[in-house]
Amino acid sequence: MIEEGIREGDLVIAEKGVTAKDGDIVIAEVDGGWTMKYLRTKKDGSVYLEPANSAYKPIYPKYDLTIAAIVKGVIRKY
């Protein structure tokens, strides 16, 4: 999430139990692995995860996608 300003070592504040909507930064389990990405919804209702790092490609779930939490804030330690 480097292009969103979230860097390695930062602490994120995430809220569980909230319904994610298009454009939210989510913590998700996708096809057995964990990631933090933008949630995107296509017009047909399907969803994918978009990274905030141009070096990576979007993730289209093959089997399972579970949204665990929505990112609400970031704390950077110096």
- The pLDDT of residue 77: 83
Is the separation of the CB atoms in 33 and 68 below 8 Å? no
| Rounded CA separation 55/35 (Å) | 15
Alpha carbon of residue 25 to chain centroid? 4
| Rounded average pLDDT over 13-39 | 96
Does pTM top 0.85 for this prediction?
A: yes
Residues 31-77: tens digit of each pLDDT: 999 999 999 999 998 999 999 999 999 999 999 999 999 999 999 98
Residue 20, both tokens: 């994610």
Number of Cβ within 10 Å of residue 67's Cβ equals 18
**Identity at 53, one-letter amino acid code:** N
